[in-house]
Amino acid sequence: MNYMDYEIKVLTPVFLGGSNPRSLDNLFRAPSIKGMLRFWFRAILGGVFNLRDTKKLKEKEDMYFGSTKARSPFSIWAESISSSKEDWYLLPHKAKFPTLAWNPGSKFRVRLSIRRKVDHIEEVLKDVFETWVLLGGIGKRSRRGYGSLWVLNSEPIWNPLNFQDFSEKLQGKLNDIWSRWRGYFDLQPNRLSSPPFPFPALWSEARIYIGRKFHPLSRANIIEKTPLADFMRRDRKFKNVIEFGRGAKPRQPSPFFLKVGWSQEGLFLICPVFYQIKTSGKAN
């Protein structure tokens, strides 16, 4: 059995609980992590191939993540290393809805254990896990900056000097993933027909905005004019604009995430854009 170990640090409050959200017995559960890995697997594959035939996408996903017919070829184990919890505002720009969450600075360990060999499974799992931590989050409001995580690792991409340095390393990493995945999967190349796609697509030509250094979050300054709270405040001004996930019928998700990253110089914002929905033309 091969395995990959990751030590993870929490950068922004994580609103994630079990059957009793007020207890937060476990920092992370394997099903929550696997759900995130499924999403980012689709996002990477969607950026490589034009999979309007969702049956093919499902076949590839089932091969790595399992289905009702066959179990997953890998398992996930997670444990807390050090953690604490407090009430944080779910809406920091309004100082409303205090909710129990895991604090920034909490640490946990994740192990991905491969129990059955599948083509390129080690590379695919590593790519998906690291893309999730680099660009996404976990728990409530993870699309808007909460639940941001970081890997405690010596590799250059996890120890950038500043957000400009990170931007260059991230683009190189994603280009490497897209290039290799085209060789892994026997599918037609993406001809970028117009959205919406029936899945998230982290498109290789879509922008990933990076910037705005700020100080570590604390309960004292989370509702001040930090970039995170300021972004949420500005976000609410766009009423009925589908680029922000509003006003579309049927309802569509917002095509961008907000994520907090770490550098030696301080925290910064990352905003990956997904090639998924038709735009309204009302907002840039």
**β-bridge partners, 91:** 96
185 vs 209: CA distance, rounded Å: 29
> How confident is residue 147, by pLDDT bands cut at 50, 70 and 90?
very high
Q: Is the peptide bond before 196 cis (omega within 30 degrees of 0)?
A: yes
Residue 232 structure tokens: 């949420």
Lowest-confidence segment of 47-51, 85-89, 108-112, 214-218 by average pLDDT: 214-218
The tokens for 3 are 């395995």
Among 53-62, 99-108, 217-226, whose mean pLDDT is lowest? 217-226
The answer to whether 113 and 2 are in contact (CB under 8 A) is yes
Residue scoring higher pLDDT (81 or 198): 81
Asked whether residue 98 carries a pLDDT value surpassing 50, the answer given is: yes
Q: Which residues contact 200 (CB under 8 A, 6 or more apart)?
A: 39, 42, 43, 46, 253, 274, 276
Averaged pLDDT score across all residues of the chain? 79
User: Quick check: 284 pLDDT over 80?
Assistant: no
User: What is the C-alpha end-to-end distance of the chain, expressed in Å?
Assistant: 49
pLDDT of residue 126: 95
Specify burial of residue 20 (Cβ count, 10 A radius: 0-12, 13-18, 19+).
exposed
Question: In this structure, what DSSP letter does residue 90 have?
Answer: E
The angle, 0 to 180 degrees and rounded to 10, between the axes of the packed helices 121-135 and 54-65 is 100
The mean pLDDT of 65-79, rounded to a whole number, is 90
Q: For residue 14, give the DSSP letter.
A: B
Lowest-pLDDT range, 17-21, 94-98, 264-268?
17-21
The single-letter code of the amino acid at 202 is L
Torsion of CA 131, 137, 143, 145, to 10 degrees: -110
More confident residue, 23 or 72: 72
pLDDT at 273: 75
36-40, 53-57, 264-268, 277-281: segment of lowest average pLDDT = 277-281
- Exposed / middle / buried, residue 266 (Cβ in 10 Å: 0-12, 13-18, 19+): middle
Rounded to two decimals, what is the model's pTM? 0.86
**In which element (H, E) is residue 114 found?**
strand 107-114
Of these ranges, 47-56, 187-196, 250-259, the one predicted with the greatest mean pLDDT is 250-259
Angle, vertex CA 31, rays to CA 156 and CA 270, nearest 5: 35
Q: Mean pLDDT, to the nearest integer, of 141-165?
A: 91
Give the pLDDT confidence score for residue 64 in this predicted structure.
92
Percent of the chain topping pLDDT 70: 69
13-31 mean pLDDT: 70
Nearest 10 degrees: Cα torsion 64, 67, 256, 228: -90
- Amino acid residing at 231: F
Q: What is the per-residue pLDDT for 223?
A: 45
